Amino acid sequence: MKKLLLFVNLWLVFSNTLFSQVPNTISDEAMVPPYTVPELLISQGGKPIKNVKDWEKIRRPEVLALLEQEQYGKIPGDLKISEIKILDNDDQALGGIAIRKQVMLTFRMNGKELSVELLMYLPKEKKSFPTFLGYNFAGNQTVNRDTTIHFAKAWNGTVKERGSASENWPAEMIIKSGCGVAIMYYWDIAPDKNDYSTGVYPLFYSEGQTKPTDDEWGALSAWAWGLSRALDYLKNDKNVDGNHVFVIGHSRLGKAALWAGATDQRFAGVISNCSGCCGAALSKRVFGETIGFVNGRFPRWTCGNFKKYSDKEDSLPFDQHMVLSLIAPRPLYVASASEDSWADPKGEYLSACYASSVYALYGYKSGLNPEVVPQPDTPVSGIISHHIRSGKHDILEYDWKQYIQFAQSTIGNLLTKYKERK
Ligand code: GCU
């Protein structure tokens, strides 16, 4: 993880210094072109959407289909967990304060098989409330120094050190607050390289197929699928409150967490940390990382259809506030870091502001004002919560403290209200 983070940080330093020189990349607010944010509350047929019923029956399915077709790609079929193996179940973990479980989820289709390990730390006294579910960047063994954690398969030929990402996963703090955490290694579901011969993709291939078709999933969609399958498991784990699983992710894994929350309404809430382009940030601002850049450097993340929008953000019939709107009325946290201009903190904030109109249909006021971007380290709490942490592109204890408080308070106050309405 350290090496990956070092690479990511070096890359960001490099890109932050040089990104004004990357064609079509803007680092100065004054250079943001005029743009129009695509309408959320008017249907494709021109009907104004004024209530929850029309949103859920007409507009939400349209928005979901558009994003699926044009950006993230469709899941090519139905595949559920074929086998669950409990490899480890220990109630004396983390110095005796937690239950640790390591569970292998196996998927089988068309004579092919994929196995993924889910690592969990859960409180001992009662069901974890809530449980944070997310991916790590470099193998489960990186998230804690606990020597019992199984090593991930070698990543890019190198094995990452135990505990090297423990700063990003403060397991003890999470447990002490009554929450749980469930973690997978993202590369196990779909490799983060331009090669579709491993991970979940081949399980769906028809004879002779070597990559998904242009409207089928890219890696973000495949990672989102993996999060939903982990949720299938968590819903049946007796130590987990399956109705209160919050999906969380940092950076590219924040992009995946948002799409998982948008496509799977069983997630109780969604947390995006520094997710940037194709995550929370508005693409039409073309500030920092652009679609052309993502498509050029990470073509595997999105579907083939998305490639036509490279350097043509003005032609996009959608933007990232629409992804956020699909999460309504569930609690949503969009967080950024002050020095992470590559991910466009202002664009992330604006997206959250524009998604508020859908929350308003459900009777929730977000308290976010597009005219005033909050100062660093002054969180705004509510059904859509937000903060900009001082510092770099990362997920740290400060961020987690806000997420724990957010998840526990929104569940109590807001989700109950929503359930009563239904
Ligand atoms: C790169 C990429 C970002 C991504 C980040 C990460 O910086 O340009 O879009 O979020 O890597 O995942 O670390």
Q: Is the CB–ligand 1 distance for residue 276 below 6 Å?
A: yes
pLDDT value of position 6: 45
**If DSSP codes are grouped into helix, strand and coil, which group holds residue 81?**
coil
**Range with the poorest average pLDDT among 24-28, 52-56, 132-136:** 24-28
pLDDT value of position 68: 98
Q: How sure is the predictor about 411, in pLDDT bands with cuts at 50, 70 and 90? A: low
DSSP state of 87: E
CA of 277 to the centre of ligand 1 (A): 8
pLDDT tens digit sequence for 298-344: 999 999 999 999 999 999 999 999 999 999 999 999 999 999 999 99
Catalytic residue check, 321: no
pLDDT at 419 over 90: no
Any alpha helices (H) in 313-394, and if so which ranges?
Answer: 320-325, 345-361
CB 223 within 8 A of CB 258: no
Average pLDDT, whole number, for the chain? 92
Which residues, other chains included, contact 6 with Cβ-Cβ below 8 Å and sequence gap of 6+? none
pLDDT tens digit sequence for 388-401: 999 999 999 999 99
Task: Please tell me the pTM assigned to this model.
Answer: 0.94
The pLDDT > 70 percentage for the chain reads 90
Q: How sure is the predictor about 159, in pLDDT bands with cuts at 50, 70 and 90? A: confident
Residue 55 to residues 60, 62, 247, 361: CA-CA distances in angstroms? 5, 9, 23, 8
Neighbours of 20 (CB within 10 A): 12
Catalytic residue check, 387: no
Q: Is the CB–ligand 1 distance for residue 11 below 6 Å?
A: yes
CA–CA separation, 390 and 338 (whole Å): 5
CA–CA separation, 313 and 292 (whole Å): 9
pLDDT at 103 over 70: yes
Q: Is the CB–ligand 1 distance for residue 142 below 6 Å?
A: no
Q: Is the CB–ligand 1 distance for residue 277 below 6 Å?
A: yes
pLDDT tens digit sequence for 232-242: 999 999 999 99
Q: How sure is the predictor about 412, in pLDDT bands with cuts at 50, 70 and 90? A: low
Q: How sure is the predictor about 417, in pLDDT bands with cuts at 50, 70 and 90? A: low
pLDDT value of position 357: 98
Sequence-ordered strand ranges (E) for 221-291:
245-250, 269-273
pLDDT value of position 410: 75
| Closest to 406 in 3D by CA, of 195, 125, 128, 179 | 179
pLDDT value of position 407: 95
Once rounded to an integer, what is the mean pLDDT over residues 62-66?
98
CA–CA separation, 159 and 104 (whole Å): 20
Tokens of 94: 């983390």
Can you say how many angstroms the Cα of residue 153 is from the centroid of all Cα atoms in its chain?
Answer: 23
Q: What class, spelled out in words, does domain 12-19+21-421 have in CATH?
A: alpha beta
pLDDT tens digit sequence for 356-365: 999 999 999 9
Q: How sure is the predictor about 125, in pLDDT bands with cuts at 50, 70 and 90? A: confident
pLDDT at 13 over 70: no
Once rounded to an integer, what is the mean pLDDT over residues 191-201?
96
Candidates 221, 228, 251, 336; catalytic one: 251
> Using CA positions, which residue lies closest to atom 13 of ligand 1?
251
pLDDT at 418 over 60: no
CA–CA separation, 373 and 387 (whole Å): 10
CA of 179 to the centre of ligand 1 (A): 28
Once rounded to an integer, what is the mean pLDDT over residues 45-51?
98
Q: Is the CB–ligand 1 distance for residue 102 below 6 Å?
A: no
pLDDT value of position 22: 62
pLDDT at 188 over 90: yes
**Range with the poorest average pLDDT among 108-122, 141-155, 302-316:** 141-155
